[in-house]
Amino acid sequence: MRIQSKFTLSHLIVGLLSCVLAGGVAYQLIKGEYETRSLRRGYDAFKTELAGYVLAHGSLNNALATEPFEEYVERMRTAGTLPALATDAPAYRFLGLDGKGVVVFPAGGYKIGDVLPEEVLAASEPVRTANGIEAYAVPIGDEILGRGDGGLMSVVTGSLAWGALAAVAASLLLAVGLGRGMTVRLRDLANAVRAMRRSPEELFQMEVVPGDETGDLAEAYNAMSRELAQARVDVRELSVRDPLTGLYNRRAFEEQASTFFESCKRYGQSMSVMMGDLDHFRVLNETFSHEVGDLVLEQVAKLILENSRKSDVVARYGGEEFVVLYTNTSRDKAAIACENIRRAVESFDWEQYHPGLAVTISIGLADNTDLSSTGSMLTRADQYLSAAKAGGRNRLAGAE
């Protein structure tokens, strides 16, 4: 079951239970209030009819001996002698006592002839006639609801039921609206996660709506997406960089060189590549330690970068070998840059790393004239590098 369905169902159940509970409480309160008022109306009618009953026969004893109270009430109501009553229910379902406090009209569990306890007698009310107090009435009786009362309670019950249905419908609409609003943002988050899985190279960001947990989720997703994107960049950089010098590694250089070679070939542009090798580097390592050798490699990389353009591709090709790709550059212009690199390496104060340390570099230079690939250019540059070493080292070959 989807979250929206669960949310809607749970909200509907809560709303339904709330409506049933509220409706039930309201019904009981209304019913209790109405029964209390109805009981009071019936009790007042009972006292009025009891007084008339006694007065019609001269005394309570004569009345009881002459005519049952029920028949008197029915006769008087039929004749219209008694005043109109608020209820059509019989008015004799209350406790009636004679002048001595003995039950003559039973109700509330008491029988004829019972003598009431003092606390019940204290609640009795005298029934007066022209001859004085003839009887007592006690507001203890059965639940009295006439035909009209029952109809009115039916109307109340129906109104509460319709109100409950309307509240349930409103709760359902509210649940659907709230559920849809919440699940839309969760669905957006799920779609963003799927999109990130399909295209891991792209950076996906969600709109953050603050104020609830879905906003926190969106913000956390955005942060995670940024971190993953940066991690991919870092991993990519690590895969193409030489860890010691920070220059491009051989694989990255060859990929870029191949791309530039095809572009220069298509548009008829010049392109040159140099290959440099540190002179006697193995002896340097053995004499001054590999730690000093690493410092030399790092510094040579910096010197090459300082004497190269941003558009040039500089790489550590392997061991003590360095390569530079000069795009849109003829061999004579590239030769100037190579000579600057050679002089920078030669003139650097290497003794700051170790007394007696001196470093030079031999360079071979080739261009793309009459060559069919970057591989052939690197081969020719390597041949010129060998010629430079054979010619005495610390020199540039291939510039002519």
> What is the CB neighbour count within 10 angstroms for residue 399?
18
Q: What is the pLDDT at residue 2? A: 67
Nearest Cα to Cα of residue 31 among 190, 132, 155? 155
Q: What is the pLDDT at residue 132? A: 78
> What b/e readout covers 88-126, taking b as 16+ CB neighbours within 10 angstroms?
ebbbbbbbbbbbeeebbbbbeebeeeeebeeebeeebee
What is the set of domains in the chain, with CATH numbers? 3-148 (no CATH), 250-397 (3.30.70.270)
Nearest Cα to Cα of residue 306 among 340, 329, 330? 340
d(CA 385, CA 398): 8
Beta bridge partners of 129: 132
Long-range contacts made by residues 219-226, C-beta under 8 angstroms, separation at least 24?
221/189, 221/192, 221/193, 225/192, 225/196
- Is residue 226 helix, strand or coil? helix
Residue ranges, the chain, pLDDT below 50: 84-87, 89, 91-92
Quick: pLDDT tens for 109-123: 888 888 888 887 888
